């Protein structure tokens, strides 16, 4: 398996532009997570999906951020309009989440990240 | 609200030393705890995962322990090597397997480890 695949790896854009980050989770995983990492705040969970359904988006900073997961193999995180304070590394991660007693280990696998710079 | 603290923030040791990284969490109702490694400019790599019912996990030169009641975990690295230099992060998953919180990992700020030859 190629692991969690994110694109683009680097994006430099100007304030006000729309940014779309993409993620392909590991095949067979049913949970997908979007994290943001900055020096000041560390790793923050933005949103996560289970079986393509958004479960908790309380970490999404504001309405400028939106995320979708149209199918089990693809997710996007969109920022519109972008601002300099959105500059960060955005990570996508996936895992197989099993419910109920005896649930599996749920090891979280991360992608390499998308480094966003908003000028 | 769960808070995760890692001590020390940075550690520099000579090659060959055994070392311990510490992680503490405020809410002991966790489902599991995971240790990650992050190399500069890269993503996170999972090292060890300890379920709440377990006390420790081992992988090669790494050993992670968990004391859930006291809200602590340690990552022990034996015979450190320059290639171990990286940032080490611990993350806890809440114990509520239902509701909307099961997927939320809370991360510590990490320990930056430098092993010099």
* Contact across the interface for B43 and A112, Cβ inside 8 Å: yes
Question: Which distant-in-sequence residues (6+ apart) come within 8 Å of A28 by Cβ?
Answer: A96
The number of beta carbons lying within 10 Å of the beta carbon of residue A105 is 14
pLDDT at B51 over 60: yes
User: What chain B residue is nearest to A115 in terms of C-alpha separation?
Assistant: B41
What's phi and psi for A82, nearest 5 deg? -80, 155
Euclidean distance between the first and the last CA atom of chain B, given in angstroms as a whole number:
41
Q: Chain A: nearest CA to B111, how far in angstroms?
A: 12
Structure tokens given for B61 = 């030169």
pLDDT at B33 over 70: yes
User: What chain B residue is nearest to A35 in terms of C-alpha separation?
Assistant: B105
* Contact across the interface for B100 and A55, Cβ inside 8 Å: yes
More confident residue, A61 or B23: B23
Measure the CA angle with vertex A34, ends B84 and A56; round to 5°. Answer: 130
pLDDT tens string, chain A, 119 residues long: the values are 689 999 999 999 999 999 999 999 999 999 999 999 998 888 999 999 989 999 888 889 889 999 999 999 999 999 999 999 999 999 999 988 776 544 444 678 899 999 999 99
Pair B63, B57: CB distance under 8 Å: yes
The beta-carbon neighbor of B34 closest among A91, A107, A111 is: A107
Average pLDDT over residues B15-44: 93
The beta-carbon neighbor of A45 closest among B36, B41, B105 is: B105
Confidence of residue B102 (pLDDT cuts 50, 70, 90): low
CA pair distance A104, A28, nearest whole angstrom: 14
More confident residue, A101 or B41: B41
Q: Which of residues 11-40 of B touch A (CB under 8 A)?
A: 32, 34, 36
pLDDT at B98 over 70: no
Pair A98, A106: CB distance under 8 Å: yes
CA pair distance B39, B22, nearest whole angstrom: 19
CA pair distance A101, B26, nearest whole angstrom: 25
């Amino acid at each position: 398996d190629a692991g969690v695949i994110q694109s683009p790896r680097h994006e430099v854009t100007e304030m006000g532009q729309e940014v779309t980050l993409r993620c392909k989770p590991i095949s067979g995983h049913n949970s997908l997570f979007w994290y943001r990492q900055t020096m000041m705040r560390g790793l923050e969970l933005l949103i996560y999906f289970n079986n393509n359904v958004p479960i908790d988006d309380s970490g999404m900073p504001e309405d400028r951020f939106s995320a979708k997961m149209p199918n089990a193999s693809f997710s996007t995180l969109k920022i519109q309009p972008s601002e300099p304070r959105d500059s960060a590394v955005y990570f996508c991660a996936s895992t197989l989440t099993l419910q109920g007693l005896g649930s599996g280990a749920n090891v979280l696998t991360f992608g390499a990240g998308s480094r966003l710079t908003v000028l | 609200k769960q808070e995760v603290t890692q001590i020390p923030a940075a550690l520099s040791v000579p090659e060959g030393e055994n070392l311990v990284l510490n992680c503490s969490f405020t809410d002991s109702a966790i489902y599991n705890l995971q240790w990650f490694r992050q190399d500069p400019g890269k993503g996170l790599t999972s090292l060890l995962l300890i379920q709440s019912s377990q006390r420790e996990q081992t992988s090669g030169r790494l050993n992670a322990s968990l004391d859930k009641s006291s809200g602590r975990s340690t990552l022990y690295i034996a015979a450190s090597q320059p290639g171990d230099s990286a940032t080490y992060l611990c993350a806890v998953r809440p114990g509520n397997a239902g509701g909307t919180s099961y997927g939320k990992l809370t991360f510590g700020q990490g320990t930056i480890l430098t092993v010099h030859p």
